[in-house]
Structure 1
Amino acid sequence: MKRSTDRLLALAMLVVGVVCFAKLYPALGGKPLAPARLEVFGLAGVLSVLAGLLFLAGLLPGAAKHDPAAPLFGRDAEIAPAGHPRLRRAAFALPLLALIVIVADQFGPWRAPRANSEPAKETVTAPAQPAPRPSESKPERETSARPITPEVSVEPATAAPAQEEAATPALPEPATAPAQPMPPAASTPPPVQPAQSTELTALAPGTPAETVAPPPPAPPAQPTALEGHRDAVVWLAVSADGHEIMSASTDRMIKLWDVDGKRLIRDLGRQKDMARSALFMPDGKTALTAGDDGEIVLRQLSDGTVLHVFSSGANGGVRQLKISSDGKRAVSGHDTGSVVVWDLEKGEVLHVLPGHDWSVSSVAISPDGTRALTGSIDGELKLWDIVAGKQLRSWHGHDRGAYGAVFLADGHHAVTGSGDYTIKLWDLDTFKEVRRFDGHSGTVYALALSADGKRLGSVSLDGTARIWNMDTGAEIAEFDPGTGPIYSVAFAANGTLLTGGIDRTIRDWPAAGGDGTVLFAGAPE
C-alpha cells in the first residue's frame, strides 16, 4: 500500500513541475511573462520535476542483498522498507520548497498587480478602402463563368482601344470577355419597397460573376437643375403623342418630362437598383420600368402608383426590356443570359428561355409581336418565336457585344450596334449582313429608328451621336457635345434627335446637324 501511495506522490510532483513549465510556454510564443515570474515558475518547475524523479528513484530497489529473515507475506511484508530511504526523504523537501516559492509569488506583499505584469494588447486596424465614386461599379463577385452589371453587363474579352477605354464608364467584365460598355453604378440611397403590389417570379439559372473596369474621367461641368438626374441617363422614351419623355438613370430614378413646357412633370418612382428601361405602354396611361434589381414594375403615369411588380427571380437583373406594339407581351433579357417572355394582360410568365451564355445586352420585338431578337455581350444574336417559346436561329453577328437592336417596319430586317464599333443591317430571312454603317470610334451603345424608318440614330461610348441614311448607309449628321460617353437615344416627334449620357443631361439635336441644346439639365453634383 505504501509503495502505491509513494508512486502517486511522485506522479503528483511531476504534474506540478509540468504545470510550472506550462506557465513558461507563452514566453516561447512571443508573449513573455515579467522576468521575475519567469524565474519563479522556472525554479518551481525544476524543483518539482527533480523531486518527482528523486522520489521515483527512492522507490527503486536498494543495492543491498535481500534479508532472508524479512517476511515475504502478511502485514509485516507490506510495511517493510524498500528502495533508498535517503533519496525519498530528500524528495519530500523539494516539493515543499516549490510550493513555498509559488505561494510567495501569488500572495506575497511584493507581488505586482496582474494588470501590470502583462504587456497591453495592441490592436492593428487596416486602412479603409476608399469609397467608390458615383461612376464606379462595386467590385463584386467576378471573374468566372458568365457575367452580370452599368455597374452592368459584361463583354467577353479582347483588348479595347485606348480611346474607348478612357471613355467607358465603370463596368464589370468577365476575365474571358471583351470590355463591357455600360453606365456607372448608382450613387443614391437605397429605395423604399413599393407598398402595394403583386409579385410574379420566373425561375432560371443563377447570376454569374463579374469584374470591374476602371472608372472614366470626370465629364466637364454642365448646366444643372435641382429636378434633374443625379447620374448617367441610360434610357429615353418618347410618348406616342410626342409631348412627353420618360428617362431612366443609374441614380435609380424614373422621370417624366414635358417636352413642350421643358419641365419635369414628376418622378415616377425609383428602382431598387439602377434603372435600365422605361417604356410607355400603348394605353398612354401606364409605363413599364425595369433595372438591375430584377423587378419589372407597371406604374401609373398620372401619379407613379405601382400597379404590378414582376420579379425575374433567379434570372437576375433586367438588362433590356421591350414591349410588343399591342402591349400584350414583354420580353426581358437578363444578366444571367436568360430571356423571359411575359404575358402582360394575365400578369404571368409565358416562357423562360435558356438564352445566351453571356449577359443579354439587347432586345427587340418584331412589329407583329411574334418574334424577338436578342443580342449578348459576346456578339451572339438569337431570333426567337416568343409565342411558341423556341429559338429560330442563332449566329455570331459581331466580334464583340451586340447593343441597341431594332426591328424595321417590314419585320424581316433588323439593325444592331456593337462593341466592335459597327452598326449592321440584317436580313432575318437569310441571316446575312445587308449593310454596314461605319464611323463610330467606340462601342455603339444604343440605336433608334425614326418614325418613317428612313433615318437611324446612334450613340456611342466615343462621346458622339450620329444620324444615318437607312437606304444608303451614309452619315447624315454627327454631334459631339464633348461631355463623354452617350448611352441613350430617341427621335422626338418633330424629327430631332434626343440623347442622354454620362453628363446627366438630356439634349436635343437638329435633324440636319448643328449645335444641340440642353433640354433637361442634370442635378448638381
Structure 2
Amino acid sequence: MAAPLEVIVTSDSGSQLWNCTVFDLHSGSSLLSYRGGNSSTRTLVLLNGEHLLSAQLGKNVINMWEIQRKDQLQQKMVCPGLVTCLTASPNGLFLAAGVAEAVYLWEVYTGKLLSVLSRHYQDVTCLKFTDDSSHFVSGGKDNLALVWRLSSVIQLDLSHTPEPRHVLSRHSLPITDLHCGLMGAQARVATASLDQTVKVWELSSGALILSVLFDVEIMSVTFDPCEYFLFCGGSDGNIFQVSLCSQSLSRDKSFQSDNDGNQVFKGHRNLVTCLSVSMDGTLLLSGSHDETVRLWDVQSKQSIRCLAHKGPVTNAIIVAAPANMFLPDSRPAVPLPRFSRHLHAPEGGESGEVCVRLGLYTQEDEQTYLQKADRLKYLMNAVTDKSVFGDGENTKVRVAELEEEVQTLKKVNKDLYDFSSQLLTKPT
C-alpha cells in the first residue's frame, strides 16, 4: 500500500488506550495511534514533519513524540501552568503556547525560551502562525485578538517589552477560535467568538473586512485554501458555510442560507470544536462534543464518513503525511532539545554563549518594492557588465571566438539549405 498524501489526526478526552489517532483521509482506516494521556483542545501540533506535540488534558505538561515512534513518548515538557493552546511556526523554528494569560515562545533547535508575552488580560484561547512564519495571532477570553510580528518579539534587550502590531478589539465576548489564511503578512484572519459573530480582518492593516452574525455561538472557524468560503462551527452542531465571493457582500451581515454559497452542514448533535479543510478544498473535517469526527463533501454538503470516538473530540486536523511517518526505522534529522522554563536562561547552558536568531534583520527599515527592483536591476547589470563586456585582451579574444562560431553556423545553415533545395527539386 502506498503512503497516503494526506491524513487525519484526531484526539478526544475519553480514550484510555491512546492519546491521538491517525486515519487515512479517503478510506477512514486507522493507521497509527500515539499513546500517553489525552490532548486538550487546540494543542495538537505537527512540528517540522518529524514530531507530534500536544498538551496534556488537565495538566501543565506538553507531550512530545517522534512521528514514527507511536508507542513511546520522547519527552515531557513541564510548563508554568495549564496549556490552553499550542502552535508551531510552519518553518519549524518556533513553538508558541498559551499559558493562562501569557504567550510563551521557544526556539525549537536550542530549546531557549525567547519571550513571555503578557499582553492579554485573561486566558489565551487560541494561537496561529501565518504561513510564512513572520507573524502570529493570539486570541483570548478578554475579547481581544493580538497580531504579533515575530521579529519584534524575538529581541535581546530584556528591558524592552514587545508590543503587538495590531489589537483587534471588535468582539464583545471571548474569542473561541481563529484562523490565518495564506499570503503571509498580507493574509486575512478570521476570528470566532461567543458573541455569535465571525469577523474577518486584514492582517497587514488590522482593518475589519467582514462581520457575520449568526443565531448561535461560534466555536470554530477556518477558510478553504482558496478562501472562497468561510466555515464556522456552531454550538448547536451545525456548520455554516459563508461565501466570500458573493456579489452582495457587505461588511456587516447576518447569515442566511441561500443559493449564493451560504449553506449549512447538518449532522453533529453537539458543539463543533474543530474544523479543517483538505489541500484541494473538496473535503471538510469536523470534530464535535458528540464524540464523532465527520468528513464532508464540500460541494454536496453530505457527510461521507463518520469516525466514532470514546469522548468529546478535542482536536481534528487534516495534514500532509510526513515522509517518515510510516518508516519505523527512521529518525528525526535534529532531535528535540530540553525546553527551558526560564527566559533566556536555558538549563545547563554555558555562560557567555552567543545566539544568533533568524528574523532579527527584519527589524530594520524595509525597502519598498521600487527600491528592491532598482537594487535587483543594478545587480543584474553589474553581473552582465562583468561577464559579457569585461575589459582587456580577454574580451577581444572572446569576441573573436564568437564571430568565428557565427560564421561556422552560417556555413552549416547554407549547406542545409542547398541540400534541402536539391531534394525538393530532384525529378521523381
For the criterion TM > 0.5, the same-fold answer is: yes
Give how far 1:414 is off: 1.8
The one-letter code matched in structure 2 to 1:259 is: I
Q: What corresponds to 1:458 in structure 2?
A: 286
In 2: Cα distance, 1:341 partner to 1:410 partner: 22
Give how far 1:226 is off: 12
In 2: Cα distance, 1:311 partner to 1:295 partner: 4
The answer to whether the aligner puts 1:358 opposite 2:173 as a matched pair is yes
The one-letter code matched in structure 2 to 1:362 is: D
The one-letter code matched in structure 2 to 1:344 is: L
In 1: Cα distance, 2:34 partner to 2:282 partner: 37
In 2: Cα distance, 1:261 partner to 1:281 partner: 22
The equivalent position to 1:259 in structure 2, one of 60, 67, 73, is 67
Give how far 1:229 is off: 3.2
Q: What corresponds to 1:486 in structure 2?
A: 313
Provide the alpha-carbon RMSD of the alignment: 2.8
In 2: Cα distance, 1:389 partner to 1:232 partner: 30
In 2: Cα distance, 1:403 partner to 1:273 partner: 23
TM superposition score normalised by structure 1? 0.48
Q: What corresponds to 2:36 in structure 1?
A: 228
Give how far 1:492 is off: 4.2
Change (3 A) 1:493 1:244: farther
The one-letter code matched in structure 2 to 1:296 is: V
Provide structure 2 residue ranges, at least 5 long, that are not aligned to the other structure: 1-11, 20-32, 154-161, 250-254, 323-428
In 1: Cα distance, 2:204 partner to 2:114 partner: 25
Give how far 1:378 is off: 2.7
TM superposition score normalised by structure 2? 0.58
Give how far 1:231 is off: 6.6
In 1: Cα distance, 2:231 partner to 2:112 partner: 35
Q: 2:42·2:126 contact (CA, 8 Å) conserved in 1? A: no
Q: What corresponds to 2:196 in structure 1?
A: 379
The answer to whether the aligner puts 1:472 opposite 2:300 as a matched pair is yes
SS of equivalent residue, structure 2 residue 165: strand
Change (3 A) 1:273 1:469: same
SS of equivalent residue, structure 1 residue 346: helix
Give how far 1:301 is off: 3.0
In 2: Cα distance, 1:301 partner to 1:402 partner: 33
Change (3 A) 1:460 1:386: same
Q: How does 1:67-466 map to 2 (within 5 A)?
A: 219=14, 221-222=16-17, 228-229=36-37, 232=40, 234-241=42-49, 243-250=50-57, 251-262=59-70, 263-270=72-79, 272-291=80-99, 293-302=100-109, 304-314=111-121, 316-347=122-153, 348=162, 349-369=164-184, 370-396=187-213, 398-430=214-246, 431=249, 434=261, 435-466=263-294
1:436-493 Cα distance to aligned partner (Å, 9 max, x none): 2110011011112223332221110111111111222221210112x22111112243
The total of aligned residue pairs comes to 274
Question: 1 or 2 for the larger relative contact order (CA 8 Å, sep ≥6)?
Answer: 2
Change (3 A) 1:302 1:422: same
In 2: Cα distance, 1:333 partner to 1:414 partner: 18
Q: 2:285·2:295 contact (CA, 8 Å) conserved in 1? A: yes
- Hey, which of these two has a bigger chunk of strand by percent? 2
Change (3 A) 1:458 1:269: same
In 1: Cα distance, 2:132 partner to 2:42 partner: 25
The one-letter code matched in structure 1 to 2:64 is: L
Give how far 1:320 is off: 1.3
In 2: Cα distance, 1:366 partner to 1:220 partner: 32
Change (3 A) 1:303 1:265: farther
Q: What corresponds to 1:80 in structure 2?
A: none
Identity of aligned residues (%): 23
In 2: Cα distance, 1:290 partner to 1:246 partner: 14
Change (3 A) 1:454 1:306: same
Q: What corresponds to 1:126 in structure 2?
A: none
Change (3 A) 1:308 1:269: farther
1:337-395 Cα distance to aligned partner (Å, 9 max, x none): 11111111111411122231110011111212432111111321111122212222222
Q: 1:454·1:469 contact (CA, 8 Å) conserved in 2? A: yes
Give how far 1:227 is off: 7.7
The one-letter code matched in structure 2 to 1:238 is: L
Q: 1:245·1:257 contact (CA, 8 Å) conserved in 2? A: yes
Change (3 A) 1:343 1:438: same
In 1: Cα distance, 2:110 partner to 2:218 partner: 35
Give how far 1:240 is off: 4.8
Change (3 A) 1:230 1:395: closer
Q: What corresponds to 1:139 in structure 2?
A: none
Q: 1:238·1:491 contact (CA, 8 Å) conserved in 2? A: no
